[in-house]
Amino acid sequence: MLANVFHTLFLWLPFAYHHTSNGIEWNYLTNGKTWTDLCATGKQQSPIAFDIQKTRELKSPRIYFANYNVELKGPIFIKNNGHTISMDIPATINGQPPFISGGRLRGRYLAKGLHFHWGSPNSNGSEHTINNRRYDAEMHIVHRNAKYIDIIDAAEKKDGLAVIGVLLEIVKVPIAIPTGLTKVINAVIETPMDESNTTIPAGFSLDEMIGNVDHNDFLSYDGSLTTPFCHEAVSWTVFTQILPVSFSMVSKLWKLRDRCNHPMINNFRDIQDLNNRPVYHRFGRA
């Protein structure tokens, strides 16, 4: 079984490639309720429902986003893996990887890939909720602890992974949609079916995926990956400021097809029990 786990992890990490292998099947028809045999049985599963009033103030230094402002080196690989759209994060044009440190993190975490979760024309689809509100979509930027040799090794360690969560909300007239995010979402029309992929020139940095969202105001807790095998190896950071996007942008995601050729909609996991875990809130400041 352990060999099968590693093989499956290799197929989808670090770019959230939620593939099927060795006869292991899963889907979002029940938003994760049927993953009992696939996911960890521990007490630190994700996503969770954030209640701002019940968080603990985090007084640690801000998270440092190194090389997030440097253009990525293209071409950039984008793929429909049958469960989501994922993007490989390469090194920057200066040859250095984007990484994060600081906050509650111990060490450097290298950015390896990003992917999205979304709802449907009739429902919202962020994985995390804030004060009982679910947003239209959520972007995850997955990072690996630099002290581990690869993503498979990191997924087996309590401090192996760090994920930045950005909540997306459809607004009628978004003031400024990040240029990188626009390029990536526009490219998904080239990946309509399971296993389809495309490449795009870079010309943008990771900062241009996030835009002007306040990096210093965030919620943080220890949790898991939100897809099988749901390893409890993740330090989560979810920005409290919501990123406004257009209807036309999110609707491109609704038009994608999954591995069964069904509409790829509502690809989010249900809220998991907090189990008395501490949840921290760092208020925006320098």
Q: 3-class SS at 98?
A: coil
Q: Which residue has the tokens 């069904």?
A: 262
| Cis peptide preceding 47, ω within 30 of 0 | yes
141: nearest Cα among 100, 200, 170: 100
- Catalytic residue (one of 83, 128, 140, 143): 83
Q: Could you tell me the strand order of the sheet in which 129-130 lies?
A: 49-50, 129-130, 133-134
Strand partners, 257: 263
Rounded CA separation 28/260 (Å): 12
- 83 an active-site residue? yes
Place of tokens 């909540």: 167
Start-end of H helices in the chain: 2-12, 151-155, 179-187, 207-210, 247-254
* Residues near 56 by beta carbon (within 8 Å), at least 6 away in sequence: 278, 279, 280, 281
Q: Which residues are catalytic?
A: 83
